[in-house]
Every structure is written in structure tokens, then in C-alpha cells.
Amino acid sequence: MTRAFLAEYAQQKFYEVDQFVSGIGLPFYPSLHVTGTLERATAPSQRHLDFNWTTWDMGYTLGYAMRFAGACPGTSKTVVFCAGETASEFTAEQFEKIRQAGTAVAAFIGAPGFGEEYPAFPAQDRGSALSSREKQMLALLAAGYLNTRIAHELGIAEVTVRKTLLSARRKLGAKTREEALAIAVRSGLLDF
């Protein structure tokens, strides 16, 4: 996003009506938002309408948000990509590449105002293969799933998910799950 847009966003306090900010606590992510479609009759408020059309005027017609687990328990990170194209102009492969890029970006976002909460594990031999279960869980993590959803998807306990992802982190020498995912993708250990 441009500095001009971010300055306008902060000055107008659009974070108060931004659906991605207000939706952070909701379970359905990724989330897609198309701007320029809100009308006065259906807008929850004038501020919602102003935000919608300011975003459109700045050239952002599409916002795609993904949420990832944070480094600290009970926290999360949201990565938003904005584009000037419409959703119909994107292929499934392009959305997959955006999702992968979001995963990589999330791996490098720290908790604001906090130091490193968890030390990095010393990297074991990165050539030591991840188990098929570790790869499977990292792939679900890449899809934006939280531990509870991974557990539900695989029919296992959430504690098993935590322990398996911890094992993958140790093998990869990563501080966070997202960093483990980024290392695995960069190293070619995961197939998408």
C-alpha cells in the first residue's frame, strides 16, 4: 500500500471501520473484500462508506487477508494483500502464490512491543527429513489453519498438533511455526 493511502487511513481512523481489523477475532480466514461496491443504502455508516470509496479511489479494488498464529500463545498475525484487479482476474494458482507469500511475510512479523518470547532452537541437520505428518501439518498451517482446525481436519488431539509442529520447528531450527514453514518452503521440503 502506498504511504499516501496509509497516511489517509491513519488520519481518518479507518481502522475503526476496516473489516479486516474488526474481523480479527472471527474464525473465517482467509477473507476477501471487494471495494467500490458499497452503496449508501447498505452501508452500516457514513464512515464505512468513506473507507470503501477512499480505498477504491486509491486504486485498491481487492483486499485479501490471511491470519496466522502469533509467536505468543493467544496471539495472531494478519497479513493483507491489496490489488487493483478484481477477484475474477485472479486464478486459483495466483491466490495460492499470494497465500504462500503471506505465509513467508507472517514468518517475519514479530509481536509489537515484545522481545523474542521464544528462543530459536539450534538447527539440527536441515537435511534430516521432516516426517510425513510434520509436512502435512505444515501444509495445513500454510493454508492458514490454526491448531484446533488442523486437529479437527486430521481427527487428532490439539496437543498432538502442538507437539508435532514443535518437532518440526526443532528440526528446522525455527523460532515460530511460521518461520518453520518459511524455512521448509525455501528449502523445498514441502510440496504444494
pLDDT at residue number 121: 44
Q: Give the residue among 39, 38, 28 at the shortest CA–CA distance from 78.
A: 28
Q: Are 90 and 31 in contact (CB under 8 A)?
A: no
Name the amino acid, one letter, at 2: T
pLDDT at residue number 28: 55
Q: Quote the CA–CA distance of 102 and 107 in Å, as a whole number.
A: 9
pLDDT at residue number 164: 93
pLDDT at residue number 52: 86
pLDDT at residue number 110: 62
Q: Quote the CA–CA distance of 79 and 64 in Å, as a whole number.
A: 8
Please give the C-alpha separations between residue 188 and each of 99, 109, 170, 180, 184, in angstroms, as whole numbers.
Answer: 17, 22, 17, 12, 6
pLDDT at residue number 72: 67
pLDDT at residue number 115: 44
pLDDT at residue number 71: 66
Number of other residues whose CB lies within 10 A of the CB of residue 90: 17
pTM: 0.52
User: Which grid cell sits at 161?
Assistant: 498438533
Sequence-separated contacts (24+) of 89-93 with Cβ below 8 Å? 90/62
Q: What angle do CA 45, 51, 52 make, to 5 degrees?
A: 90
Task: Compute φ and ψ for 143, nearest 5 degrees.
Answer: -80, 0
Instruction: Give, for all 192 residues of the chain, the pLDDT tens digit.
Output: 678 888 888 888 888 888 777 766 666 566 777 777 778 788 888 888 888 888 888 888 888 888 777 766 667 777 888 887 777 777 888 887 787 778 777 776 665 554 444 444 445 455 467 888 998 898 888 777 888 889 999 999 999 999 999 898 888 888 777 778 778 877 777 765
pLDDT at residue number 122: 47
Name the amino acid, one letter, at 88: S
